[in-house]
Amino acid sequence: MNDPRDADPVEPAPPEHEAAELEGAELEGADDSPVGLEVEVDVGAVAHGGHCVARHEGRVLFVRHALPGERVVARVTEGAPGDSYWRADAVRVLTASPDRVEPPCPWARPGLCGGCDWQHAALPAQRALKAAVVTEQLSRLAGLDVAVEVEAVEGPGTDAHAGLGWRTRVQYAVGDDARAGLRQHRSRTVVDIDWCRIAHPRVRELGVPGLRWPHLGAAEVIAPAAGEDRLLLLTPHASSGRRTPRPPALPAPASVAVRTDEGVERVSGRTWVAEDVELPGGPRTFRVTGSGFWQVHPGAARTLSAAALEAAAPAPGETAVDLYAGVGLFAAALAQAVGEDGHVVAVEADARATADARRNLRDLAAVRIVTARVDRALAGAGLGLQRADVVVLDPPRTGAKKDVVARIAALAPRVVVYVACDPAALARDVATFARHGYVLDGVRAFDLFPQTQHVECVARLVPAGA
């Protein structure tokens, strides 16, 4: 859980089969650009990336704000005449799906905020769409026929039945007018909003969109659902020089810090928050500095740690490895399970995260923390292990990739538990594990990002024939 990018689905990553370089770009060139063209299309299956597939005159359209089975008027938003696919928004619905609902947020519409992909779908339909994406990716990239159900997750302070009020970390972009808002889909344009409907109430209490933020590029609110602490993390604008930005008067208490090239600089209060989690072996509190990665749904840490331990079933005295360990969530749960006679090696590249992990896990003698890139730790003597009983990994959105997978398999664990925020990366790595003798033995999926395309999976892999 170490990649801060994974904590923020406000700007969804493009599907793996699409060109990332289109991010934020504006089309230039010929007068016959299709951008702005409106066409009637029948909407087909959901695709990875928060849109559905349609076709117009033989060309694929990736259409946002649509649902499978609908007929819509789609307006092209990106593409060139020679491209094999275009992007589009459904701007009028001619035949609606029975799963369509009125989006609860006025900004979750074409041309406005790009953070929520599925507000126009009922929550059960959203989960079905995500399940279809996970199933399709495992089929297409790993050759597996796996039935997946996306499970709802509740959390303190959220409106779970509406899929609102769950996001405990929100990064607002600051526009040229010094107002904070959220970005358009695949754009640097900042949309002025009143308030974010998926933001947790403790985030909303700071009223960031209603204030002015001169000399800033971004303002991030980090507000654990439980407890009193809250952090406002400021990112200076590139033009602000060495000036330390000061926030406006806030309507609710919060610590304030500034993100710098060297790390996090305190302005007032403290530079970290405390996250309380009920682990399977008992409650613990985790210190997370600045924008260090932590799941943004209040129920995520408890849900994922329980699912990982259920899949791994670590026994007292066993040796476990936690890769991409972040501030130590899974390492703590594993240490509780293997006990004083067991061993846990936690590997994390970010030095600030491992500093937090050492503080968080200082009472667990079974844990050894290694500050290193996972691939390098596995390739050298960083682990200090020839084998392991259990490996848990929670890589960034790009996945573990083939070299890391090969070295995990070389440890000959009896079980590998893979926590994934991107189903395509998971499917690719599952296929690689199969080439090293490990097969998928089950996968659970959790709706930790309601109203968006994102889904979290916990996959169990075991040696073939086990």
Dist CA 225 CA 223 (whole Å): 6
Q: Strand 263-268 and strand 216-222: pairing? A: unpaired
For 173, other C-beta atoms within 10 Å of its C-beta total 21
Same domain, 179 and 263: yes
pLDDT of residue 27: 38
Which of 52, 105, 421, 457 is labelled catalytic? 421
Contacts of 242 (CB under 8 A, 6+ apart): none
Mark whether 247 and 331 lie in a shared domain.
no
* Same domain (yes/no): 96, 49: yes
* Beta pairing class for 282-289 and 59-64: unpaired
Residues 320 and 400 in one domain: yes
Q: Which of 13, 47, 60 has its CA nearest to residue 137?
A: 47
Instruction: Answer whether residue 119 is part of any domain.
Output: no
Task: Looking at the structure, tell me whether residues 263 and 333 fall in a common domain.
Answer: no
Q: Residue 5, Cβ neighbours under 10 Å: how many?
A: 14
Q: Are 449 and 393 members of one domain?
A: yes
421 classed as catalytic: yes
Distances (CA, A) of 162 to 122, 152, 297, 347: 9, 11, 14, 37
In a domain, 211, yes or no: yes
Exposure string of 340-362, with b = 16+ CB inside 10 Å and e = fewer, is eebbbbbbbbbebbbbbbeebbe
Domains of the chain: total = 3
d(CA 244, CA 252): 21
**d(Cα 434, Cα 441) in Å, to the nearest integer?**
11
Q: Are residues 142 and 93 located together in one domain of the fold?
A: no
Is position 129 within any domain?
no
Kindly give the pairing relationship between strand 150-152 and strand 85-95: unpaired
Structure tokens of 203? 């985030």
Residues 334 and 425 in one domain: yes
Q: For residue 172, what are the β-bridge partners?
A: 219
Per the CB < 8 A criterion, the answer to whether 221 and 291 are in contact is no
- Is the domain of 87 the same as that of 140? no
| Domain-embedded: residue 52 | yes
SS3 440: strand
Residue 319 is assigned to a structural domain of this protein: yes
Range(s) of the domain holding residue 260: 169-223+230-269
287 lies in some domain? no
Q: What is the dihedral of CA 210, 296, 265, 214, to 10 degrees?
A: -20
Q: Tell me, yes or no, whether 369 and 441 share the same domain.
A: yes
Residue whose C-alpha is closest to residue 22's, from 74, 86, 118, 116: 86
pLDDT (0 to 100) of residue 466: 75
- Is there a domain that residue 283 lies in? no
User: Does 197 fall in a domain?
Assistant: yes
Residues 341 and 437 in one domain: yes
Tens-digit pLDDT profile for the chain (466 aa)?
444 334 443 333 334 344 333 333 333 444 589 999 999 999 999 999 999 999 999 999 999 999 999 999 999 999 999 999 999 999 999 999 999 999 999 999 999 999 999 999 999 999 999 999 999 999 999 999 999 999 999 988 888 889 999 999 999 999 999 999 999 999 999 999 999 999 999 999 999 999 999 999 999 999 998 777 899 999 998 877 666 778 899 999 999 999 988 889 999 999 999 999 999 999 999 999 999 999 999 999 999 999 999 999 999 999 999 999 999 999 999 999 999 999 999 999 999 999 999 999 999 999 999 999 999 999 987 888 999 999 999 999 999 999 999 999 999 999 999 999 999 999 999 999 999 999 999 999 999 999 999 999 999 999 998 7
Give the pLDDT of residue 7. 42
Instruction: Indicate which CATH number applies to the domain containing 25.
Output: 2.40.50.140
One domain for residues 330 and 255: no
The predicted pLDDT at position 321 comes to: 98
- Quick one: residue 12, left, alpha or beta (phi over 0 = left, psi -120 to 50 = alpha)? beta
Supply the CATH number for residue 344's domain.
3.40.50.150
